[in-house]
């Protein structure tokens, strides 16, 4: 049986345990050691969301490397769908709450969280439990459903995406932390750090009608996140991006974090069971010079929490 056939059939009959050798393997994440104690990337397995984040951010040099005293921080999870956390359509709320808390601990003056949702925004915010987690940790949750809050910007050098409207928070904050969930997507195979940035723009339909993968890569010409944290605590293996039922979900208990958005997405794609070179927007972004899929050239701290 071919690998992809095995994955599809195993998920379909609910054999989550059989998927462990396919999904979430660290074997492909070989790397060189860090020379200064600060790694290019952290890949964590086996813990709860907050604990995995704490290990990852420590390996990357701590949150104070990214957030300075008095800075305004934007945290961008995936909150696109009116689904509970167990369905893995959105970023894990515990992880989002811990990132908000960590930013304040590093000295942030304000921490904002928003997404331009696909389903009704207030139901997405509530039922994902992200709104509750953000408020519990002192952050400010901001609706993303009003076009008046989006400002038109130029994408310098964009091939397909030359202008777009971005949310004003992207223009007014100092630090941009991108927190996608690792899941299947019907149009792009996976939805990770780069595709999660579609949630900061108003007109996503333009992307889908004008070379989706090129538009995803083009947006990086405008702004790249300062830090990317991929939530793989639960992973939607099929029927993404919304999912159909719990049969679509496996408990992976994984997290990948780093500054190179191409490398982070490449590592997460390997953990999904696919090849980064087969994902068009990852391949294009590397060709445009936004990062590397050559993970062996990076220092990656692979951490297991027992």
| Segments making up each domain of the chain, as ranges | 22-304
**Is 50 exceeded by the pLDDT of residue 126?**
yes
Q: Is the model more confident about 15 or about 164?
A: 164
Report the pLDDT averaged over residues 221-244: 94
**Is 80 exceeded by the pLDDT of residue 26?**
no
Please provide the average confidence, as pLDDT, over all residues in the chain.
90
User: Confidence band (pLDDT; 50, 70, 90) for 25?
Assistant: low
Q: What percent of the chain has pLDDT over 90?
A: 82
**Is 70 exceeded by the pLDDT of residue 138?**
yes
Least confident piece of the model among 6-15, 182-191, 259-268, 285-294? 6-15
Task: Give me the architecture of the 22-304 domain, per CATH.
Answer: 3-Layer(aba) Sandwich (3.40)
User: Confidence band (pLDDT; 50, 70, 90) for 11?
Assistant: very low
Reported as a single tens digit per residue, the pLDDT across 156-173 is 999 999 999 999 999 999
**Is 90 exceeded by the pLDDT of residue 249?**
yes
pTM of the complete model: 0.91
State the pLDDT at residue 58. 97
> Three-class SS string for the chain?
CCHHHHHHHHHHCCCHHHHCCCCCCCCCCCCCCCCCCCCCEEEEECCCHHHHHHHHHHHCCCHHHCCCCCCEEEEEECCCCCCCHHHCCCCCHHHHHHHHHHHHHCCCCEEEECCCCCCCHHHHHHHCCHHHHHHHCCCEECCCCCHHHEEEEECCCCCCCCEEEEEHHHHHCCEEEEECEEEEECCCEEECHHHHHHHHECCHHHHHHCCHHHHHHHHHHCCCCCEEEEEEEEEECCCCCCCCCHHHEEEEEEEEEECCHHHHHHHHHHHHCCCHHHCHHHHHHHHCCCCCCCHHHCCEEEEECC
């Amino acid at each position: 049986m071919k690998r992809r056939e095995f994955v599809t059939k195993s998920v379909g009959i609910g054999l989550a345990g059989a998927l462990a050798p396919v999904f979430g393997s660290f074997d492909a994440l070989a790397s060189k050691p860090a020379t200064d104690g600060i790694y290019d990337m952290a890949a964590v397995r086996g813990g709860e969301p907050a604990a995995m984040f704490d290990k990852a951010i420590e390996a990357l040099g701590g949150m104070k490397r990214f957030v300075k005293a008095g800075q305004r921080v934007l945290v961008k999870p995936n909150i696109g769908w009116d689904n509970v956390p167990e369905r893995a359509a959105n970023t894990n709320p515990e992880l989002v709450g811990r990132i908000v808390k960590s930013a304040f601990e590093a000295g942030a003056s304000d921490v904002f969280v928003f997404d331009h949702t696909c389903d009704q925004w207030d139901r997405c915010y509530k039922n994902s439990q992200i709104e509750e987690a953000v408020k519990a940790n002192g952050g400010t949750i901001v609706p993303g459903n009003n076009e008046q809050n989006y400002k038109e910007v130029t994408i310098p050098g964009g091939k397909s995406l030359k202008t777009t409207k971005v949310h004003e928070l992207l223009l007014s904050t100092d630090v941009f932390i991108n927190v996608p969930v690792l899941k299947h997507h019907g149009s792009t195979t996976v939805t990770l750090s780069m595709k999660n940035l579609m949630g900061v723009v108003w007109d996503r339909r333009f992307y889908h009608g004008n070379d989706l993968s090129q538009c995803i890569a083009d947006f990086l010409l405008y702004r790249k996140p300062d830090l990317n944290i991929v939530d793989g605590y639960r992973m939607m293996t099929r029927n993404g991006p919304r999912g159909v039922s719990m049969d679509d979900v496996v408990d992976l208990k994984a997290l990948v974090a780093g500054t190179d958005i191409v490398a982070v997405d490449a590592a997460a794609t390997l953990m999904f069971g696919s090849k980064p070179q087969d994902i068009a927007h990852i391949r294009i972004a590397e060709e445009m010079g936004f990062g590397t899929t050559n993970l062996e050239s990076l220092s990656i701290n692979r951490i297991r929490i027992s």
